[in-house]
Structure 1
Amino acid sequence: MNTPYRLGADHLLLAIRLTPNGGRYLLDGAETAADGQVHLKARVTAVPEKGKANKALIALVSKTLRCPKSAIAVISGDTSRQKILRIDGDPEDLAERLEALLAR
């Protein structure tokens, strides 16, 4: 099975499809797009203006994966629904936490 993340030497890259104004804060499993790319679905209540939705997404991922917000950065898709997050830390440990989340 494809995964929505790739491991780096000291980080993990996570593909996300964000739904701003989503009514709640939730990481909602993975989905495969028409192009075959796998994304983790995320919903936040914040509106997509002035980076509010991105900040809410970083807070949600930080809380869910139990890592500091300062370790997470949006490296692609700043104004798009499709985003790539770079999460600094032990990639194996982060991948385990994501696998546990995806297994739910």
Structure 2
Amino acid sequence: MNPPWRLRVDGVDLAVKAQPRAKRPAVGGLSPDGAAIRVAVAEVAEDGRANRAIGQALARVLGVAPSAVGLLQGGGSRQKVFRIAGDPAELVPKLEKLIA
């Protein structure tokens, strides 16, 4: 099975399955189809609030600045792709821990 990220020279593109309005915010685990990392946030999916919260949650668990995380695709969908800037050699082990 392929991991839910794609390596880039300057970081990774990460597939995310969003769960807005969650009772328990969390980052980790795979979506049921195995194609994305699950991210649950308490914010509602209005005016981009959930997207911003997901970006902040990813930055926190991956140890990068919030400005290093940007939404590439899926602004209005639960299936999203975020670009995370940084050294892929440092990001991949952290991502592997999230899906373990």
- TM-score for both structures, normalised by structure 2: 0.93
> Residues 68, 87 of structure 1: CA spacing in aligned structure 2 closer, same or farther, 3 A cutoff?
same
The answer for the alignment partner of 2:97 in structure 1 is 100
In structure 2, relative to structure 1, the CA distance for the partners of 1:24 and 1:32 (3 Å cut) is closer
Matching residue of 1:13? 13
1:2 deviation in Å?
1.7
Q: Identify which of 66, 78, 82 aligns with 1:81.
A: 78
TM-score normalised by the chain length of structure 1: 0.90
Gaps of 5+ in 1: none
Aligned to 2:30: 30
Identity %: 36
The one-letter code matched in structure 2 to 1:43 is A
Instruction: Find the residue that maps to 2:36 and give its secondary structure.
Output: strand
Separation (CA, whole Å) in 1 of partners of 2:83 and 2:8: 9
Q: Which residue of 1 aligns with 2:56?
A: 59
Corresponding residue number in structure 2 for 1:48: 45
Q: Which runs of 5+ in 2 are unaligned?
A: none
Q: Give the paired residue count.
A: 100
Amino acid at match of 1:60: A
Distance 2:90 2:18 in 1: 23
Paired AA for residue 69 in structure 2: I
Residue deviations 1:37-67, cap 9 Å, x none? 6110110000000010011101110111110
RMSD: 1.2
* Structure 1 range deviating more: 23-32 or 93-102: 23-32
